[in-house]
A and B are shown apart, each in its own frame.
Chain A
Amino acid sequence: QVQLQQWGAGLLKPSETLSLTCAVYDGSFSDHYWSWIRQPPGKGLEWVGEINHSGTTNYNSSLTGRVTISIDTSNNQFSLKLTSVTAADTAVYYCARADPVGGTDRGSGDFDSWGQGTLVTVSS
């Protein structure tokens, strides 16, 4: 059964760069799309973006220009970088897996496996 284990810095100052990594164990890394999803404390979910093993990415347009998702196929890991963070970026960040949609450059959004979540707090 696939396991997603994530890590990264939990406390940032405004204007710094958020950096998180998610490692995938016991899963078919090349057969899926890998997403980041965030959840501000006490609030709902927001999809950040996704990547596949070829490096094809799709991002939430609300974060365009600040977000980069990258992949390390040799270590079955993918990473999130979010620049110029503010308090509004304070959230629990989750990594998640979805199946691809055949014949397209996108995932299905059926997030069947999730990481444990990482709370990132942005505060001066």
Chain B
Amino acid sequence: DIVMTQTPLSSPVTLGQPASISCRSGQSLVHSDGNTYLSWLQQRPGQPPRLLIYKISNRFSGVPDRFSGSGAGTDFTLKISRVEAEDVGVYYCMQATRFPWTFGQGTKVEIK
């Protein structure tokens, strides 16, 4: 199984300041079809996860443009340009390049 490692596991952020989460995979996530199936999800307390970013950098419909994804191969990053109160929650990276799909451990974003 591909191990997904996120850092940091906890990120206290001041409102209006940026936040960055790193995700590293145990092997390249480039699929034989040329795509990289790396997505980011947000899980607010008590709610199901919500898709933010797919295929590294594509923002899902309705996701604010303060969220952006980047990276390639085995190293990926989610950035929040200016953290708002509604961004509090746990963020997961997930790979769907090779079965079984696997998730990172999650990064808890909280307000200082």
Contact B51 A44 (CB under 8 A): no
A61 located at the interface, meaning its Cβ lies under 8 Å from any Cβ of chain B in the complex: yes
Min C-beta distance of B76 to chain A, whole Å = 14
Q: Count the A-B residue pairs with Cβ separation under 8 angstroms: how many?
A: 67
Once bound together, how far apart are the Cα atoms of A111 and B65, in whole Å? 19
Q: Known A94-B49, A108-B96, A111-B49; judge A47-B102 contact (CB<8 A).
A: yes
In the bound complex, how far is the Cα of B105 from the Cα of A7, in angstroms? 27
Residue A112 interfacial (CB < 8 Å): yes
Interface size on A, residues (CB 8 A): 27
- Specify which of A98, A104, A110 lies most central, judged by the most chain B CB atoms within 10 Å of its CB: A110
Given contacts A108-B54, A109-B39, A110-B54, contact A44 B92 (CB under 8 A): yes
Q: Report B63 CB to chain A, min CB distance, Å.
A: 11
Interface of B is mostly: loop
Q: What does the 1/0 interface line of A36-79 toward B look like (CB < 8 Å)?
A: 01000000111100000000001111100000000000000000
CA distance A106 to B60 in the complex (A): 20
Interface pair B37/A61, CB less than 8 Å apart: no
Min CB gap B62→A, angstroms? 10
11 residue pairs bridging A and B, Cβ less than 8 Å apart? A37-B49, A45-B92, A45-B94, A61-B1, A104-B33, A108-B54, A109-B96, A110-B55, A111-B49, A112-B61, A116-B48
Q: B residues within 8 Å of A by Cβ? A: 1, 33, 35, 37, 39, 41, 48-51, 54-55, 60-61, 92, 94-96, 99-106
Chain A interfacial positions (CB closer than 8 Å to B): 37, 44-47, 58-62, 94, 96, 98, 101, 103-104, 106-112, 114-117
Extra contacts besides A45-B92, A106-B99 (5): CB < 8 Å: A37-B49, A45-B103, A47-B100, A108-B96, A110-B55
